[in-house]
Amino acid sequence: VIPEARRPGLLAGFKDLRKMVGLLRQPRTAANEPASTFSIDTVTRSLNS
Amino acid sequence: VKPLYELSIAEAGRALRDGSVTSVALTEDALGRIEAIDGKLDSFITVTADRAHADAAAADADFARGVDKGPMQGIPYGLKDIYNTAGIRTTCHSKLRVDVVPDADSVVAAKLKAAGGVLLGKLATHEFALGGPSFDLPFPPARNPWNTDHMPGGSSSGSGAAVAAGLVRMAMGSDTGGSIRGPAAYCGTVGFKPTYGLVSRRGVFPLSTTLDHCGPLSWTVEDSAITMGILAGYDKLDPASADVPKPDFLSGLNEGVRGMRFGMPRHFYAEAEGVSPEVVAALDKAAQTLTDLGATVEEITLPDYDLFNACGRVIMFTEAYAIHEADYRSRPLDFGQLTFMRMTLGAFVTAADLQQASRLRRELCEAVSRKLLTYDALITANALGTAPAFADIDPNNPPNFPIQTMAFNVTGHPALAIPTGFSASGLPLSMQIVGRAFDDAKVLRIGAAYEAATGLAARRPACATV
């Protein structure tokens, strides 16, 4: 349960967040990969001595 | 003759090597200043006096035996209290970790120890590098040495305050959305966020692994360059670490900017909500200074700053929530109120939102990198005003103070915060110099040229001279 005193601030933050996520929607093709597509090299390199 | 605290790392290093000062003397001076001044600033959470004495004695013994480990040997420094330190508590300024004593050093702490540095202590932060400044945490928030009614910025708040007050020459910060460059701006110090992947984050409590960077705050650009020479390097156990040649940060540091081209995205800040005319005027003056030094400065256009900000904040809130989710669910009221409210936003982000942020990140990174094919660096605003007063903070409504640092966490480019002057109220102003990826040495070189031309490092806050 969110304490009463925190609700107005959270609501204001939520409204800001919804504005921000609106800005993220840009025209793109389905083939546009995200920046976080990982490289197998980086996630396995600690196994290579 | 300068007082000891005014000696830069480079100057103190020369004095240590010609025998005119000892590391023990530098350390006693620093501990005495912390005792005398920090009661007003609360920049330290933990002062490691015993460790500092031992480090200093070891450094002096090494000098006496002809052992020289490099430019940090015998130099006192501080660490933001999210850097793990073996045997020394690492609290993240939070009730949740108030008694946590790590078994091992973070990579940064280990490198500074191996380089012969003298650890003075652990410095205040916003809770988990996210929520603050707050008065409902186990430790008070750090205060701004230029005016203690004002905040020092965050989240590396203690690092900025301690460097500005001359308690340490260098303090490590971390920067996820501007947490090095913001305190540097508000406290009038140098602050350097290196290229993403250049300094290992292993052993540093994460806020958002996509955006987290480690870097120094210092009084001079040269001292940040010296620190980077020790810290830069590949770490295969940090998945973001880049396997690139280690730059030489010092050899070209004083070669100036003649012939360089700088792009200035004036639309970023000049039309932004809440920007101070003093910030814009100081940037225009900085552009003129760089022109006088032989560079060319041209106005350029980048994607709107709001896109960078939205992209970065959505990623940051989401990753922060994911990291803290278990504690958030089981003991939410043990977080400070500001941390709780910021972290809660991460719970509202959808998977599609995050995917869109990730795609936008790539586009923004490419847009900035494309501009940097033409320009040696970008010159742009840092904080859009001076340090806000504590009285301006509503704990029930987390503030978003205007600052334009997030762009280069999103893109990963190296970004240096450097003072540009003072407001009429006597608070520091700052700008960012942003370079090509892994061209960190050039960013520092530009900063060094600008710093030398302005002479701003000569002015210290009044509390530093006590």
- Per residue in B86-120, pLDDT (tens digit) is 999 999 999 999 999 999 999 999 999 999 999 99
Report whether B236 contacts B244 (CB < 8 A). Answer: no
Residue A9 is predicted with a pLDDT of 87
Give me the mean pLDDT over the B179-196 stretch: 98
B369 closest CA partner among B263, B294, B216, B270: B263
Look at residue A44 in the predicted model and tell me its pLDDT.
79
Chain A residue numbers with beta carbons less than 8 Å from the beta carbon of B346 are: none
The pLDDT of residue B249 is above 90: yes
Question: Tens digits of per-residue pLDDT, B407-419?
Answer: 999 999 999 999 9
pLDDT confidence tier of residue A49, bands split at 50, 70 and 90: low
Per the structure block, which two tokens stand in for B266? 């004036």
- A–B: how many Cβ contacts below 8 A? 84
Q: Is the pLDDT of residue B51 over 70?
A: yes
Q: What number is the average pLDDT over the span B406-434?
A: 98
- Closest partner residue to A21 (CB to CB) among B237, B340, B353 is B353
Confidence (pTM): 0.97
Enter the ipTM.
0.90
Catalytic hit among B156, B159, B174, B179? B179
> CA–CA separation, B215 vs B249, rounded Å?
14
Which band of pLDDT confidence, cut at 50, 70 and 90, is reported for residue B466? confident
Average the pLDDT over B192-214 and give the result. Answer: 98
Q: What is the pLDDT of residue B139?
A: 98
B280-329: per-residue pLDDT in tens?
999 999 999 999 999 999 999 999 999 999 999 999 999 999 999 999 99
Among partner residues B236, B362, B398, which is closest to A9 by beta-carbon distance?
B398
Query: What average pLDDT score do residues B164-184 get?
Result: 98
The alpha-carbon gap from A13 to the nearest alpha carbon of chain B, in Å, equals 7
pLDDT value of position B34: 98
